[in-house]
Structure 1
Amino acid sequence: MKKKIVIVVCLLVLAIPLVIYGGWKVTEWRAMRALGGVSFEVEEYVKNITQQEYDVIVVGGDPEGVAAAVAAAREGAKTLLLEPRDGLGGLMTYGALNFIDYDFDMNDDIANEGVFKEWHELVGGQVVFDIETAKDAFLKLVQDEENIDLSLTTEVLEPIMSEDGTTILGVVAEDENGTHSYYGQRIIDATQHADLAAMANVPYFIGGADIGLENRKMAVTLMVHLDNVNWDGIAYTALTKKFGEAKFTQTAAWGFVDLHHAYTPVEEGTRLRGLNVARQSDNSIYINALHIFDVDGLDPASIEEGIERGKREIEGVVQFLREEFPGFKRAEVASYPTELYIRETRHIYAEYQLPIVDVWEQKDHWDSIGFGSYPVDIQATSVHDYGYVLTHPTQYAIPFRSLVPLEIDGLLVASKSSGYSSLAAGSARIIPTGMSTAQAAGVAAALSIREDISFRELAANRPLINELQELLKEQGALLYAYDLDFPYKGKWFYPAIKKLLTYGLVSGGHQNDLHVENTMSELEFVNLLTNGFQRISPQAYENHASGLSDIHLMAQKDKTPLSRNQASRFLLTVFGESREGDAWAKVVDQDLVDEEIVNRLVEEKNLLRSEGYVVVAHILQKIEQLYQ
């Protein structure tokens, strides 16, 4: 027994220089936390709002709101942060999303530094974090800034607008002491769903409406929180690949994708995917894996129904894991999060709507305020699909213009609802990216006040954008100019790929590979045409529905290669023309194929995907001209 005590003491003594040096890993930091050695202190929160007028008002205490408020305050702006919950961190803390999705830049460094990095180091600097520690860390960042007033449990009721309705001047908010009017020279909406922007009549679209998929509802997730789980059992399952490929550390495990099929859901409209498992310092775990479908993220009743459905499904998940997954034999539900992880709702229209092509092309921007690189992850929308990865960029820049909403002045939107196309948002929606853009919003707010210039004017002022970028660097943000190539750059067929990417009709996966040298099948060609018509214009689809239906009946289902003449017959059918005789000559005469393809397909042959993409893109260009 004495020997054990000596060993423990020696280990603690050896740990001291590691703590001073800052070289602790999560496991050691967690051990210190378990022993009471928390690495920072947070004061007890006391609401003390003594004024009604501020330089900057930030609405929303999610991670993005904290980043925006801290950044504005550090630039000397008197800042008010309003949050309806009783603490900070939003999705990360109340939604329990404690497994971080990272952006890595072209140098394989974490691309989001600045305020995100400060918070990340406070919670241990690893891919998972303790939720209560995260709450404290967000609060510490705010409390450390003398220029921030924080008002929790405060609901924003409506914006205060100028007489002509074009400029937001402040907000009306309600807390336990009543209703208050707060005025700010600049306002930042950092809510998950651009709630304030919507109230201020900023134009926006929902879901995938920009590509004809307004009713698209990506799966939402209720995090699973369990006690009495044996981590060695999880590690064993990963090593034996019982549920497919998986990896693990002392605090995280991910993979297990065969659970897609091994588990049969109890509730209709739910599904278990592969597990992302995060281990807490109390040895409880959180799992991000439960998909819940058909939830409207803007409807409180639908959200509540989704939560209750998720809770019932978790009972089935836990029972399955107890019986089939080593390490879960004694598992019990520890708690339920109070919020869902809602991936997509509003997208505001901005001065620059970041397109998916910019992500594919890994484009830099003159007004870059941060980098993204996360895969464009379009999550499943029903139990009948599994979603897809459209592309996995090395790095792309997010422009300041994407935070400046159309029509309404005095406001920036800094969250996953910023000015991104719905496809680009599949990458840009992750929290570290949001914290980088929100930090830029905070700095921009202070800068615009100092220069007495509107956000819209700032977005067009290159010298001041340069100053904004320098201020961000001084605050620790990672920013630099770069130039990267991208897949199929300069290829004769690349313009067609751009067209198809814009509507999400092709996907390159994690390897950015469209397999352009493979033969296109009849069914693939028909699906591209049909989906293209639907996404460009409902009217176009309706007008050609009969022909599109006919070509689906004509197409072979067994991956039959698409020949030049069969592609011609498909096109003639879609446009209501006779397909008898020389179909190729007819489509050439009617300009249903472009000149490049005419020159390349001089003889009957099977089409490569590159060639099929060009044929489809030419037709979609015509449909755009006719119906948009």
Structure 2
Amino acid sequence: MAPKKKWIVAAVWLLFAVAIGLPWFMDTASRPSANSAEVVGLTLPKAAIEKYDVIVAGTDPEGIAAALSAARNGLRVLLVDGKGRDRLGGLLTMGWLNSLDLNLAPQQTAEAKRSGNYDFLNKGIFQKWYDQLGGTSFDAHAAADLFEQMVRDERNISLLLGVKSMEPKLEGKVVRGLAITDGNGRSRVLQARAVIDATQDGDIAALAGAPYTVGREDLGNPDARMAVTLVFKLSGMTEDIWQSFGRRKDTGVDQSSAWGFLEASNYPSSNPDRVALRGLNIGRQKDGTILVNAMHIFGVDPLDPVSVQEGLRIGRREAPLIAEFLKTTFEEMKDLSYAGTAPELYVRESRHMQGEYRLTMADLMENRDFWDAIAYGSYDVDIQRLGRGDHGAIMMSPRQYGVPFRTLVPKEIDGLLVVGRSASFDSLPHGSARVVPLGMATGEAAGAAARLAIDEGISFRQLAGSRSGISRLQDMLRGQGMDLRMREARQPAYRGHPTYPGLLAAVSMGMTLGGYDNNRWDLDGLSSKDRYLTMMQRLVKMHPRYFRGKPDGMLAGYLKSGETVTLENAAHALLLTSGVQVKREQAVAELKKRNWITPATWSLISHPGGLTNGETFMLVRDAVARHAGVTYR
């Protein structure tokens, strides 16, 4: 579109907005063409109202869903972003994550798998947005335009971008709005009857004083967190090149997505302590480019702006080197060209709020439903690499689990809901619950909950404790197109194993993983020194008050790597790890004397000369329950 024509369009829109009383104002930036990388900047008029029913902080997809839901329920909404963004969509449009981790129903037809026309959980606003884009990956520019159009179509939404800072306005422990500094440096207080925190990192809740953990803190490792990614772009894609991707043995493709190229993990990083490459996830754009999600950047603190900027610099230095490696390593990519990086990092993990309920690994292992479920998840528990020496893991693959409304209600602070990846999930189940489709469902539920709480004159915390109120909320969500069915599915085989209680505890403490097929924990296989050592190390991390020993040295003295674990050795290591000094030959008797192990577990052990993985899980589970007083259930 020519510059003159763009100004005409802007003027016409402004006159139209004034004429019908829309609370929109066109910024000095003109409307771009459909395939431009930028979306029009929108801000509040100078005479804008200062009071709203709901303020939604954060313009990622979760925040957009919350704003749309609240507006469609008749509330006056302000959608505001404090990251200096010039477009809607956050991670998807600024982080270029154009291939989504999908939240699928448990059973998919062969046709759905072939065509990509999947049956999604929750549906609702996410489904309507996704269906208009088409394909398992989407064009990031088209996604931004569609988000903008969906927001524009709601007369009850005002949008404020370019904000320099925003923080909660509190009355005691109740959030009453936001104090902001806008793009012109003007400080303003915006009042609201409810605030929804849809920032990626739960910034508003944290500033309000809501309790939270960071990274792997709940697993005893607060400095560990999943790697961040800088998505990069390659140009020159043709249909012939795309089809050649699918002819590789290690790679799959559909019309818009490709995955594989596993040899990419052999990339010789120029900065191996900070950068690595994994197999590629590729999303196709409409302009002959592809976006590649594969770079891992370690040691970035998402809550430290200096660290984030350092991560961006590291990624931008490495991206062209990675592109050259791909061109020379894979024949299919030799004619592609490096074309830049995303404006923002893809951050997987930062804060984990502590809410009225905290989602646990037991919830996913048992595919639990909840009386207050307002969304459902099913994505694999995908823990990306934590650092150079770590390889990441698929902890397990749930069929379908409920997400309680209580996970959106932060402890100690009222007037506020938290949606998206920083809601109240333990760090391990967060590996599944962090995905965008589920986050958009929580956002949609939060927007409707605001309507209900305002109508009933109750707080979100009171709503979270009301079965009748939650029932009305669920009816509202169904009425606006959400699917809140718990699909029928047979329970996984591991739940029928006699050592399942031990497995549940071991998985919850990060001691073992099941992989995509939930079989890698090998319950009937013989345990080895390496596995048992990992379990003891995790005990020290998880429960340091009760397990203070140094298992590395204790086990190294009498077990060779790979050697099976006897009952005597397992008992001895367990006691030494807990600080009890005892001779090895007396360890079993001492363990029985202390009554740390249940009679049921003793009866399971049929071959003391070689314990199975399941049996060692049971020993540890009982010791933690009876010695540390913590039961995983």
TM-score above 0.5: yes
Write the distance in 2 (CA, Å) between the matches of 1:482 and 1:232. 40
Write the distance in 1 (CA, Å) between the matches of 2:159 and 2:34. 27
Residue pair 1:247, 1:253 contacting (<8 A) in 2 also: yes
Matched, 1:127 2:132: no
Q: Name the SS for the 1:511 alignment partner.
A: coil
Q: Aligned-residue CA RMSD in angstroms?
A: 2.2
In structure 1, the gaps of 5 or more residues are 1-35
Q: 1:533 aligns with which of 540, 544, 547?
A: 540
Partner of 1:388: 393
Query: Which amino acid is the alignment partner of residue 161 of structure 1?
Result: L
Matched, 1:511 2:517: yes
Deviations 1:1-59 (A, max 9, x none): xxxxxxxxxxxxxxxxxxxxxxxxxxxxxxxxxxx999xxx998564462001111101
Partner of 1:207: 215
Partner of 2:116: none
Q: Name the SS for the 2:439 alignment partner.
A: helix
Deviations 1:526-585 (A, max 9, x none): 221221221222x444x323x65322333210x212222332333344444332545433
Query: Which amino acid is the alignment partner of residue 239 of structure 1?
Result: R
How far did residue 215 of structure 1 move?
0.9
How far did residue 235 of structure 1 move?
3.6
Deviations 1:385-423 (A, max 9, x none): 211011111111101000000000000001100011111
Q: 1:113 aligns with which of 107, 110, 123?
A: 123
Q: What is the 5 A alignment of 1:447-462?
A: 447-462=452-467
What TM-score results when the alignment is normalised by the length of structure 1?
0.88
616-625 vs 360-369, which deviates more?
616-625
Matched, 1:362 2:351: no
Q: 1:160 aligns with which of 154, 161, 169?
A: 169
Residue pair 2:364, 2:429 contacting (<8 A) in 1 also: yes
Q: 1:175 aligns with which of 166, 182, 188?
A: 182
Query: Which amino acid is the alignment partner of residue 446 of structure 1?
Result: R
Write the distance in 2 (CA, Å) between the matches of 1:403 and 1:37. 36
Residue pair 2:40, 2:87 contacting (<8 A) in 1 also: no
Residue pair 1:523, 1:555 contacting (<8 A) in 2 also: no
Q: Name the SS for the 1:180 alignment partner.
A: strand
Partner of 1:495: 501
CA gap of 1:187–1:257, structure 2 versus 1, over 3 A, is: same
Q: What is the 5 A alignment of 1:434-449?
A: 434-449=439-454
How far did residue 627 of structure 1 move?
13
Residue pair 2:54, 2:195 contacting (<8 A) in 1 also: yes
Write the distance in 2 (CA, Å) between the matches of 1:344 and 1:581. 45
Deviations 1:280-335 (A, max 9, x none): 11111100000111111111111111111111111211111221212322332223
Residue pair 2:280, 2:293 contacting (<8 A) in 1 also: yes
Q: 1:411 aligns with which of 387, 393, 416?
A: 416
Partner of 1:76: 74
565-574 vs 109-118, which deviates more?
565-574
Partner of 1:19: none
Residue pair 1:278, 1:286 contacting (<8 A) in 2 also: yes
Residue pair 1:219, 1:295 contacting (<8 A) in 2 also: yes
Alignment size in residue pairs: 579
Percent identical: 35
Write the distance in 2 (CA, Å) between the matches of 1:603 and 1:144. 68
Matched, 1:341 2:346: yes
CA gap of 1:302–1:603, structure 2 versus 1, over 3 A, is: closer
Partner of 1:565: 568
Residue pair 1:237, 1:325 contacting (<8 A) in 2 also: no
Deviations 1:165-195 (A, max 9, x none): 2101011112234221100001100000001
Residue pair 1:369, 1:440 contacting (<8 A) in 2 also: yes
In structure 2, the gaps of 5 or more residues are 1-32, 109-118
Partner of 1:324: 329
Write the distance in 2 (CA, Å) between the matches of 1:98 and 1:267. 26
Q: What is the 5 A alignment of 1:200-239?
A: 200-230=208-238, 232-233=240-241, 235-239=243-247
Query: Which amino acid is the alignment partner of residue 388 of structure 2?
Result: V
How far did residue 599 of structure 1 move?
2.6
Query: Which amino acid is the alignment partner of residue 94 of structure 1?
Result: M
Q: 1:620 aligns with which of 607, 615, 624?
A: 624
Partner of 1:554: 558
Write the distance in 2 (CA, Å) between the matches of 1:451 and 1:383. 52
Write the distance in 1 (CA, Å) between the matches of 2:335 and 2:300. 31
Write the distance in 2 (CA, Å) between the matches of 1:532 and 1:230. 52
Write the distance in 2 (CA, Å) between the matches of 1:540 and 1:46. 55
Residue pair 1:231, 1:327 contacting (<8 A) in 2 also: no
Query: Which amino acid is the alignment partner of residue 93 of structure 1?
Result: T
Residue pair 1:571, 1:592 contacting (<8 A) in 2 also: no
How far did residue 587 of structure 1 move?
2.8
How far did residue 223 of structure 1 move?
0.3
How far did residue 591 of structure 1 move?
2.6
Write the distance in 2 (CA, Å) between the matches of 1:134 and 1:620. 48
CA gap of 1:37–1:621, structure 2 versus 1, over 3 A, is: closer
Write the distance in 2 (CA, Å) between the matches of 1:406 and 1:415. 16
What TM-score results when the alignment is normalised by the length of structure 2?
0.87
CA gap of 1:113–1:548, structure 2 versus 1, over 3 A, is: same
CA gap of 1:625–1:43, structure 2 versus 1, over 3 A, is: closer
CA gap of 1:320–1:400, structure 2 versus 1, over 3 A, is: same
Query: Which amino acid is the alignment partner of residue 581 of structure 2?
Result: E
How far did residue 381 of structure 1 move?
0.7
Partner of 1:145: 154
Q: Name the SS for the 2:483 alignment partner.
A: coil
Partner of 1:16: none
Residue pair 2:245, 2:253 contacting (<8 A) in 1 also: no
Residue pair 2:34, 2:141 contacting (<8 A) in 1 also: no
Residue pair 1:267, 1:312 contacting (<8 A) in 2 also: no
